[in-house]
Amino acid sequence: MNAITPVGVNASAFLDRGAVDAGVKQRTAADFLRHAGLPRVGVEAWKYTSLRALADVPFATAQRDVDGATVDTLLAEVETISGLGAGADRVVFVNGYFDAARSRLPKGVKVSTLAQSGAVQDDIDPAGDVTTALNTVMARDGLVLVVPEGVDAGCLLLASIGLTAEDAPVSFHPRHHIRVEKGGRLAVLDAAVGQGYYLHNPLYDIVVADDAYLSHARIQAEDRQALHLAVSHARIAAAGVYDSFTLTLGGSLSRHEVHAALTQAGGSVHVNGAQLLMGRQHGDLSSVITHAAPECISRQTVKNVLSDQARGVFQGKILVDRIAQKTDGYQMNQALLLSEGAEIDAKPELEIYADDVKCSHGATVGALDDDQLFYLRSRGISGEAARSILIRAFLHDVVDQIDDQRLKDSLNLAVEAWWKREAA
């Protein structure tokens, strides 16, 4: 999943506007995109997800100056689906640009933006994957946040709002850097909403130091016309914990890649998620979890609820290096299909070079159980209420796996809002 072979479609719609002369990484990423293009389904990592919808779209550069009333409405939507009110610490980005007036920065942490700080050093390969390369070429702004050693920074809302131009679709590519120093703690609720046809392509550079803890929940509730391509690169040090969850609700086409590396002994990573899709939505959750040190733990459970003609994709790989003895890795993908036209494609993988490990993976696909529905209906429960009970029961244990109660409550609220739309 790391290399993109040189078969693809036109990427020049982005390269013509990219900062290809801004630095070595940008030039490397631009060269990679020119050579590889946007991948077709013939590329193994993109076997189930095509980016042809992006190939010839003349995406305009997203503007800073947009309708303030619409932004406020969408920000209120974020507050509603997250349960985090107007008083919560928050960092707001509109069309990929930091919105200082609507942000409320947390105390006790170091906060700046990419536009203010200039280039931020990281170890991410700019040509490691197409989503990373595209962000590397196009990034203009993003969050730069550091939690100092031993500080509990509480909960932060990272709100991303997208608004298309009246005469053309736009794209924006924020690059967020989050670092939790030794013994520090942070919970981030990352919510994306918007209005219109646009491409949102965020990159997350995440570093969790020794004994540090980061809980990171993403609620992707973009406009149903929007395109959402995201990639997270996380590095977890000794006894560090990265507890992540991605809830995919919006977008016509979405994909979130997670590349997590356990670099020192005793680290833990959770890469859980759920996709709740309807209509003709296409959602893809792909991951590579690398165990590069001994005695580390990884957990990944992804559940999909798909109706109408929706299509879900799960590609998950656990890679265990030779040095990574005593690895404990688990991966499971489950899908609930609510219609005959819904589809799930699952490809779990294990690649193991160590000989003292405990690793497993699996996948299940099914429909609502007729006997369970009949039982609930025989107790006087309506058909829709019975469906709701069974779907929520299916989702409950995966949402419950995120440790931070505040983020868990936010995810449950977002699921509730989705179900009301589905049942309407």
Sheet architecture: strand order including 357-366 = 97-98, 90-94, 152-163, 185-195, 213-221, 241-248, 268-277, 297-306, 327-337, 357-366
Residue 405 belongs to a domain = no
Backbone angles phi, psi at 7, to 5 degrees: -130, 125
Q: Are strands 97-98 and 227-236 parallel, antiparallel or unpaired?
A: unpaired
Residue 391 belongs to a domain = no
Q: How is residue 221 written in tokens?
A: 């509730």
| 56: nearest Cα among 37, 42, 41, 43 | 37
Residue 414 belongs to a domain = no
Q: Which of 57-71, 234-248, 251-265, 287-301 has the lowest mean pLDDT?
A: 57-71
pLDDT digits (tens, 9 = 90+) for 40-51: 777 888 999 988
Q: What is the pLDDT of residue 118?
A: 76
Residue 80 belongs to a domain = yes
Q: Which of 160-174, 208-222, 237-251, 275-289 has the lowest mean pLDDT?
A: 160-174
- Gap between the Cα atoms of 306 and 286, Å rounded: 17
| 217: nearest Cα among 173, 263, 265, 159 | 159
Residue 390 belongs to a domain = no
Q: How is residue 31 written in tokens?
A: 């060269």
pTM of the prediction?
A: 0.93
The answer to whether the CB of 214 falls within 8 A of the CB of 242 is yes
74: left (phi over 0), alpha (psi -120 to 50) or beta: alpha
> Does the structure show a pLDDT above 70 at 423?
no
Core vs surface per residue 164-174: b (16+ CB within 10 A) or e = bbeeebbbbbb
Residue 415 belongs to a domain = no
**Total of domains in the chain:** 1
> Does the structure show a pLDDT above 50 at 94?
yes
Q: Which of 29-43, 181-195, 385-399 has the lowest mean pLDDT?
A: 29-43
Helix or strand run (H / E) with residue 116: helix 114-117
Residue 127 belongs to a domain = yes
Q: What percent of the chain has pLDDT over 70?
A: 94
- Gap between the Cα atoms of 389 and 386, Å rounded: 5
Taking CA 78 as the corner, what is the angle to CA 77 and CA 80, rounded to the nearest 5 degrees? 65
Q: What is the pLDDT of residue 16?
A: 56
The answer to whether the CB of 8 falls within 8 A of the CB of 38 is yes
DSSP string, 147-195: EPTT-EEEEEEEEEEEE--SSS-EEE--EEEEEE-TT-EEEEEEEEEEE
> Does the structure show a pLDDT above 50 at 9?
no
Residue 121 belongs to a domain = yes
> Does the structure show a pLDDT above 90 at 87?
no
Could you tell me where the beta strands, DSSP code E, fall in 54-135? Answer: 60-61, 90-94, 97-98, 110-113
Q: What is the pLDDT of residue 318?
A: 97
Q: What is the pLDDT of residue 3?
A: 34
> Does the structure show a pLDDT above 50 at 256?
yes
Q: Give the mean model confidence (pLDDT) for residues 343-350.
A: 95
Q: Are strands 97-98 and 90-94 parallel, antiparallel or unpaired?
A: antiparallel
Write down the mean pLDDT value for the chain.
90
Q: What is the pLDDT of residue 40?
A: 75
Cα-based distances in Å from 43 to 22, 37, 78, 162: 29, 11, 36, 29
- Gap between the Cα atoms of 93 and 104, Å rounded: 12
Cα-based distances in Å from 42 to 50, 229, 354, 363: 9, 19, 31, 23
Instruction: Tell me the pLDDT band of 15, cut-offs 50, 70 and 90.
Output: low
Q: Give the mean model confidence (pLDDT) for residues 399-409.
A: 93
Residue 285 structural domain: 8-367
